[in-house]
Amino acid sequence: MPRLTFARMLEKFCQQRVTTILSPRDAALFQNWLLGLLVARMSPPKAGHDYDWLAISNACGVDHADLKRATRVLSPGLDALTRDVRQNGGLHPRKASRAASRRIPRATARHTPAESADSNPRPETSAPPRRKPGVRPKPIVDFPESDGKLWENPATFTDALELHMRRHGDSSKHLARVLANGASQVDETTLNMWRRGVKVPRAARSLAALEFIERRYRLPLGYFRQKLPMTDRCTSAGTIAGITRAERRRLAWHLPFDFDRRPLKEREEILEWVQRVVISGSTEYRRFQAAAMRQRYAVRFPGLLGESTRPRGLYRFCREEDGSLPDPELAVAAVDAPAQLSEEMADLVRFKTATLTAFGYQRNGVWGEETASQKVEHLGLMFGALAAAPSGAVHGFGVPLESLTVGLLVFPIVWDWYIQWRERRRGFYTAWEVDMLRIAIALTRVDTGWLRQSSQLADRIKPIPNLITECDIAAIRADWAGACEQMHKHGLARAKEVQRVARIHRDPFEPVMVVLEADSPVGEYRKITEEILRLMPDEKRYPRAAAEAVRAFLMLRLGLHLGLRQKNLRQLLVCPRGHIPSSERRLTELKRGELRWSERDRGWEVFIPSVAFKNANSSFFGSKPFRLILPDLGGLYHYLDAYIDRHRRALLKNAADPGTLFVKTVKLTSKDAAYDQNTFYEAWRLAIQRYGIDNPYTDRGAIKGLLPHGPHNVRDVLATHILKQTGSYEQASYAIQDTPDMVAKHYGRFLPQDKAALAAQILNRVWEAA
């Protein structure tokens, strides 16, 4: 009997060490094989000075490549087993085979040297070749006959493969010979693992072998593939010329599995459609934005708002479409602000965000964190345009960096140049220019404008050829208040002029217009969540991919139930069942909401204090918190419980828990598991690309005509749905925590045209009920 203590040591080794490098199923197989060797008092097989990993793979049923990758982790356990077997009198497999060979009697006769020398050589005769012992291999037939019995179609891939191999009289060894004869590289061990359910086909060559088997058994094309569990990766896009590896990974999900075998013209057509519709979106604004991304010119203010190196929103406009870094010549166009300008911007942000103003200053209104970050970003773009070279791609003004100062904003000529530069760059004026002019108006307002109260900035202004002269500087130094008043009046006049001719460049409804035009927008958008469930990966095989799918499902479902803005949904905290929820005072201090279990209502409750909302002073709230019990519909509670209990931990791994409901997939390069504005937008957009957009080439996606979009559009879906069903702006405002006036302003175009018919439908329900 083996020592029980050592057996427990091996079990503990497998549970604590092996599971960190192998999947739970593979770790269990390796543990069973290891304990089997201990019972048989046999050492692990070796090949030279190393272990024979191929033999170990065949013996325990774990993939050879996975074992080789886990060599460092597995070797100490194998060494310990070898020592224990040697100490307790066990035999090494090689020694055992030698001992067995010594017991076999020799059949050759012995001859003395003399007999060998004196003997006459006999003439050699050609003997007929000896046939190998054993049963002759079964002949290879292209299309074997079935046994003719009736059969029921199994639901799983493992059962289907086992059934049809048995019906056609194929063993794993014979089918491997047939596949090898047909140039398919799948061996007997792999087939056995498929039949036992240990592994499933994932690689391109394995899927090609499945198609070969389907033809051999005269099954419909794709018969076995449809029964495979949803995987966490794709198998196409391996040979696309002229496309980077990063972009190839992004494209692979949206390409058909037989993409590499399709004609060149058809492949080009598929690629063009995927890049135009799925990746970038086919709107005019998206094309303009994609071109603008490649020209980085903003002045950055690192560290200004508690961020070390990259501002919150800058990279949203500066990333390449495939996620890679821009061209180096364009990358150098984005520069850090000089010390003087950074100091001035810090004073401005401090003035607008401080709880109490400094003595002697007055202000009208306070910036929140998001607003302050946005204003800094916009002013950074303005200073970047002024500093960019006139001969470059940006066609800026060429102001030296050391000449940049916030004091330049007091000159009307500076603002005129900037808004006209933006008009030339885009082709027309938009609301952006109006908003920028309103910043100038607020900064120069009498009594409360920060510029008007910061006359010391006049001493830092330097002459700029063709823009500001010495005389201009002397005039404003002599009368700073008069200069601010002149800029204030100029800004008011320019804002009215620009607003009169401004055009809408980005229609916010365009990506989801096909949903908003449906009779039931929420019912149409709900199809995306159902598609996520249809394509849900197998959690046992692909735990991280399953966790990401559940996260995407919950993002969309909670968005449809709550109608929150991105910030409130992204920062929503989670309190698991059985834990004490946060107090309202604590949530008010954090300006965040929380998802927690309500024992009184026996349901998941979303509680958000009113101060956490952008429109906290709206009449909708009346200083009361937002509270809603989520409905247990469509499996929502099932997936919420699974996500909080298991999937969220799978995404976090060993990273620090930020406490939010939605967390990023932690990778080696991840610094923080919490979402920010950009990463949350990208996560939502990725879910729409994978599950929302109907892809005619892969049969994936729920809605034809949908385009990539972010989380804010779900509010459009909710408001439009309520408006179409009730015709009431007030009820639609309840769904998105806003006022009827705002709903009428934004969604009035979707109000049903035949209002009399809508009223008749409500009245007719009385007779229908009777």
DSSP string, 366-385: ---HHHHHHHHHHHHHHHHH
Question: Residue 685 has what pLDDT?
Answer: 93
Q: Please list, in sequence order, all residues whose beta carbon lies within 8 angstroms of the beta carbon of residue 765, skipping any fewer than 6 positions away.
A: none
**Section 470-476 average pLDDT:** 93
Amino acid at 636: L
Residue 320 has pLDDT above 60, yes or no: no
Q: CB count, 10 Å around CB of 70?
A: 20
Three-point CA angle 13, 17, 20, nearest 5°: 150
Domain assignment of residue 736, yes or no: no
Domain assignment of residue 716, yes or no: no
Residue 309 has pLDDT above 60, yes or no: no
CA distance 560 to 66: 42
- For residues 357 and 472, membership in a common domain is answered with yes
Residue 235 has pLDDT above 90, yes or no: no
Tokens of 468: 């500001």
Contact 675, 663 (CB under 8 A): yes
> Between 161 and 302, where is the model more confident?
161
Domain assignment of residue 256, yes or no: no
Burial label for 528, CB within 10 Å (0-12, 13-18, 19+), is: buried
Q: 645: domain range? A: 519-708
Domain assignment of residue 725, yes or no: no
Give the side-chain half-sphere CA count within 13 A for 181.
Answer: 12
Residue 279 has pLDDT above 50, yes or no: yes
- For residues 471 and 538, membership in a common domain is answered with no
How many structural domains is the chain composed of?
4
The helix-helix angle for 369-387 and 339-353 (nearest 10°) equals 150
CATH number reported for the structural domain that contains residue 168 in this entry = 1.10.260
- For residues 579 and 538, membership in a common domain is answered with yes
Residue 750 has pLDDT above 80, yes or no: no
| Long-range contacts of residues 373-376, Cβ cutoff 8 Å, at least 24 apart | 373/305, 373/311, 373/312, 373/313, 374/313, 375/349, 375/439, 376/301, 376/304, 376/305, 376/311, 376/345, 376/349
Tokens of 634: 């469509």
DSSP state of 595: E
- For residues 73 and 205, membership in a common domain is answered with no
Q: CA of 208: how far to CAs of 153, 189, 260, 698, in Å?
A: 22, 17, 12, 17
- For residues 321 and 416, membership in a common domain is answered with yes
CA distance 549 to 529: 10
Could you say which of 470, 501, 532 is where a domain stops?
Answer: 501
Q: Strand, coil or helix: what is 333?
A: coil
Domain assignment of residue 570, yes or no: yes
Residue 313 has pLDDT above 50, yes or no: no
**Section 230-247 average pLDDT:** 63
- For residues 196 and 80, membership in a common domain is answered with no
> Between 456 and 99, where is the model more confident?
456
Which range among 45-59, 294-308, 427-441 has the greatest average pLDDT? 427-441
**Section 23-50 average pLDDT:** 84
User: Which of 306, 209, 198, 204 lies closest to 256, judged by CA?
Assistant: 204
Domain assignment of residue 540, yes or no: yes
Least confident range of 87-101, 275-289, 695-709, 741-755: 87-101
- For residues 472 and 534, membership in a common domain is answered with no
